[in-house]
Structure 1
C-alpha cells in the first residue's frame, strides 16, 4: 500500500469542491497553489487531508488547483497583485519554477511578492534540499508557522522557443543543457515505475547510452571560458538536481552568483563509470569537470541545438543565456537553512 503523504493522525479525506476555494466575504492572507499531479498524483488524491493539515497549523487558507502547464504561474501572479502575504506551493520543483516565474514576471508596482512556503509534495525536492527543509509535511508546516524567512537568489534565462523566437523564463534552482536536457526527455517513463531518484538515475543512463557531446562555446560574465565538446553544463543556484544529484556541492542560494558546472566532452564508458560521483558530489575530482563563479552565463551551440532545461523542466533549446537575480525571492526556512541536507 502506498504511504500517505500526510501520514497518520490527520483528518480523513472528505468530499471537496474542485478548483478554487475562497471564504465568503473574507480573503485569507495565505493562498495554497496545489498541483494535483505532483507526487505521482497522490497530492490530488489526498488533497483534503493536506488542506486539513495546513489549516491545523496555519489557520484558514484559500487554495487554487493547477489544471495544466502555466497555471501555477498565473496563480502566483494573481497572488502578488492581490497582496497575499503567504503563497504555499503544494507541488514539486516544476511547480515551484512556475510560481517563481509568476512572481518575478510581475512589475514591482504590483506590490511586494508573498513569502513562499514549500511543502514536500513533489518528487525531486531538489530546491528544498539546499534549504534544508524537512521531508515530512507537518514538520515543513512548522517551519512556515515559525515565520522565519530568508531572501534567496533566482535567475533569469533566455532560450529558443519551438518557433525559433527568444523566450524569457525564470528559474530558482538551475539552468542546464547537455545530458540533463536529454535525461528529462526520457525520465518520465522510468520515474512513474520506480520513483524519482531511481527514475532519474535510469533516465541518466539511457541518455548517456545515446550521448554525443555538444560542440558549444561558454561565456562567463561576458568572457569566453571554453569552446569545444561538452557533455553537461549547469548554471546552478542550488546544490542538487535530478532528485538528489549533488551537481554543485558548494553552491549557495544567497551569495549573489551562479555556480557554473562544466563537464567537457566525455565518452559513454567514462560517463557511465563516473555517474555515481554525481550523486556523491565528488565528480569535481575528474579532470574534465570544472566549477566557476558567475553572475551571467551564455551557452552558444556550434552545431545541433540541444534541449535546455530550467529547474528540471524542458523549456526550449540552446542558445541559453542566464543571469543571477540576487535576493529576488523570500522563502520560509528554518534555522538550519543552507546547511547540507
Structure 2
C-alpha cells in the first residue's frame, strides 16, 4: 500500500449474475487493487446477507463503502452507513441508476464511472441528506425489516419515496424480467394505466394536514426515479427539505399527454401538479404500498423525516 492508498469495501449486487452488469463488480475491484488500494469485496447470495456483511465491514471504519449496482444497492449502502461517517461510493450498473444521475456520476459507461470514483476518492466527501422512514409492522414480513423505537418498522432512503400510481408501476416493473432499462418502466406504466384511479390521501407536512385526491405522491430528496423521470426537477440533495410532489386527478388521455414531460421535468408547470416542501411528512391512504429507492417498504401510513447531512458520498 502507498501513502495515498485507502481501505475500501466493495459491495456487489447479489443479483448481478447475468447481462452486462455481471462484469462491473469485478472490474471495480480489479481497478482499485491495481491502483494500490486495500479492497475487501463483499458478495453474498441475497440482499439481507449482503446488508449484514456491509454493516460489519463499516464497523471497521474503512475509507469508503462502494456499492456496485442500481438504486437498490444505493439503498443498501444508505442502510449500512446509518450513524457512520464512512462515505458511500457508487458505480452504477442497475436499471434505474437515478442516484448516480443526481450525483453527476456517469451512467451507461462503466469505465467513466470507475474513473469518476477513483478521482473522487482523493477529494473530501460530499455531504448530502437522507430520509428516515417509520411504519407499522402489520402486513410486513418480520425478517425483512428493522424494528425501531416503539416496535415500529424503520428504514432509510436517499432518492425518492413513492406512494401511489408511481409505486404501483414500480411494483409491476420490479416483477418484470424483460425488457431491460427504462422501457420496462414505460411498459409497466401503460399496463397500470388501464386501471388508473385517484387515491384519497391524508398528508401531514411539517404538522399541517392536507386532504388530497391524487394519482401520484412522491417524497423526493433526489430529482428523478424510474430511470430518469424527473418527477421533482427542483429537488436538492443537500437543502434539508423534501420536495413533495402530487399529481391531482387526470383522465387517461391527459395523463398520457403529461407523462412524456416528466423526463424533462416540465410537468411541474401544469396546474394539476403541486409541489410542497417539508422536512417531516406523513402519508396516509388505504391499499397503497410505499416504495423508496425502488425497494418495497410497507403499506401506508408511513412517517418520513429528513436526516439533514446524514450521508457522505464519494462524488
Length-normalised TM-score, structure 2 = 0.87
For residues 118 and 251 of structure 1, the distance between their equivalents in structure 2, rounded to whole angstroms, comes to 20
47 and 297 in structure 1: CA distance in 2 versus 1, 3 angstrom threshold: closer
Question: Does 1:178 find its partner at 2:164?
Answer: yes
Quick one: which of 125, 129, 135 aligns to 1:149? 125
Q: Residue 61 of structure 1 aligns to a residue in which SS?
A: strand
Quick one: which of 112, 115, 126 aligns to 1:139? 112
Contact 1:36–1:47, Cα closer than 8 Å, also in 2: no
Contact 2:42–2:54, Cα closer than 8 Å, also in 1: no
Q: Deviation at 1:227?
A: 0.9
Name the counterpart of 1:264. 248
For residues 289 and 66 of structure 1, the distance between their equivalents in structure 2, rounded to whole angstroms, comes to 42
Q: Deviation at 1:319?
A: 0.6
45 and 112 in structure 1: CA distance in 2 versus 1, 3 angstrom threshold: closer
Contact 2:219–2:242, Cα closer than 8 Å, also in 1: yes
- Choose 78-87 or 246-255, whichever is displaced more: 78-87
Name the counterpart of 1:232. 216
For residues 167 and 313 of structure 1, the distance between their equivalents in structure 2, rounded to whole angstroms, comes to 15
Question: Does 1:293 find its partner at 2:277?
Answer: yes
Q: Deviation at 1:57?
A: 4.0
Q: Residue 258 of structure 2 aligns to a residue in which SS?
A: helix
114 and 248 in structure 1: CA distance in 2 versus 1, 3 angstrom threshold: same
For residues 150 and 39 of structure 1, the distance between their equivalents in structure 2, rounded to whole angstroms, comes to 31
219 and 137 in structure 1: CA distance in 2 versus 1, 3 angstrom threshold: same
Contact 1:154–1:171, Cα closer than 8 Å, also in 2: yes
Question: Does 1:196 find its partner at 2:200?
Answer: no
Contact 2:58–2:65, Cα closer than 8 Å, also in 1: no
For residues 329 and 291 of structure 1, the distance between their equivalents in structure 2, rounded to whole angstroms, comes to 24
Q: Deviation at 1:69?
A: 2.9
Name the counterpart of 1:96. 74
Name the counterpart of 1:25. none
Contact 1:37–1:43, Cα closer than 8 Å, also in 2: no
Q: Deviation at 1:204?
A: 1.5
Q: Residue 196 of structure 1 aligns to a residue in which SS?
A: coil
For residues 268 and 160 of structure 1, the distance between their equivalents in structure 2, rounded to whole angstroms, comes to 33
Which 5+ residue runs of structure 2 have no aligned equivalent?
Answer: 1-5, 141-150
- Choose 262-271 or 211-220, whichever is displaced more: 262-271
Q: Residue 182 of structure 2 aligns to a residue in which SS?
A: helix
73 and 247 in structure 1: CA distance in 2 versus 1, 3 angstrom threshold: same
Quick one: which of 190, 194, 202 aligns to 1:205? 190
For residues 34 and 43 of structure 2, the distance between their equivalents in structure 1, rounded to whole angstroms, comes to 20
Contact 2:96–2:228, Cα closer than 8 Å, also in 1: yes
Which 5+ residue runs of structure 1 have no aligned equivalent?
Answer: 1-27, 105-110, 334-341
57 and 211 in structure 1: CA distance in 2 versus 1, 3 angstrom threshold: farther
272 and 160 in structure 1: CA distance in 2 versus 1, 3 angstrom threshold: farther
Name the counterpart of 1:221. 206
For residues 236 and 39 of structure 1, the distance between their equivalents in structure 2, rounded to whole angstroms, comes to 31
For residues 113 and 70 of structure 1, the distance between their equivalents in structure 2, rounded to whole angstroms, comes to 22
For residues 69 and 285 of structure 1, the distance between their equivalents in structure 2, rounded to whole angstroms, comes to 39
Question: Does 1:37 find its partner at 2:11?
Answer: no
Question: Does 1:117 find its partner at 2:89?
Answer: yes
Name the counterpart of 2:144. none
- 1:70-121 CA-to-partner distances (Å, cap 9, x unmatched) read 23421332122111111110111011102211221xxxxxx84321110022
Contact 1:39–1:121, Cα closer than 8 Å, also in 2: no
CA RMSD of aligned residues (A): 2.3
- Choose 206-215 or 68-77, whichever is displaced more: 68-77
